[in-house]
Amino acid sequence: PAEPSSPAVEWSESRETPHIFSKVLRLSNLPPTFVEAAAVRQLGERFGHVTQCQVAMNPNGTPRGFAYVSFSRSDDADRALEGMEGAALGQGLAVRASFCNPRPVGGVTVFQEAAAHAKG
């Protein structure tokens, strides 16, 4: 079935808050070793086809500790949320995974916003 278009929705920190067919996850609490999008993409592809991935970076080139991962299907994102939430990736850190939706048509996407922040 086709997924309905959805209004902009902010992060959902609670699993009790329904998401609206989101295909984008925000992964936070990532260890500083996750500086390459390829590492995060590989993590996401265990759950489905990843269409876009970006690690948020500071202007000085250091990682900010979070990344965005977009999946081709919302059910892949659902599986990824379940599989990645609380996962131990090293240095005693447990990943926090939450849904987010891209901004409305014509707005800045979370990927564009992260890239702009990295440029300073």
Q: What is the pLDDT of residues 18-65, one digit of tens each?
A: 445 678 999 999 888 888 888 889 989 999 999 999 898 888 888 899
pTM of this prediction? Answer: 0.69
- Type of residue numbered 12: S
**Higher-confidence residue: 32 or 16?**
32
As given in the structure block, the two tokens for residue 18 are 């329904």
pLDDT at 9: 43
Please report the DSSP string for 10-28 in residue order.
-----TTSPP-S--EEEEE
Look at residue 104 and tell me whether its pLDDT is greater than 60: no
State how far the Cα of 35 lies from the Cα of 30, in Å rounded to an integer: 9
What is the number of alpha carbons within 13 Å of residue 17 lying toward its C-beta?
Answer: 10
State how far the Cα of 80 lies from the Cα of 71, in Å rounded to an integer: 9
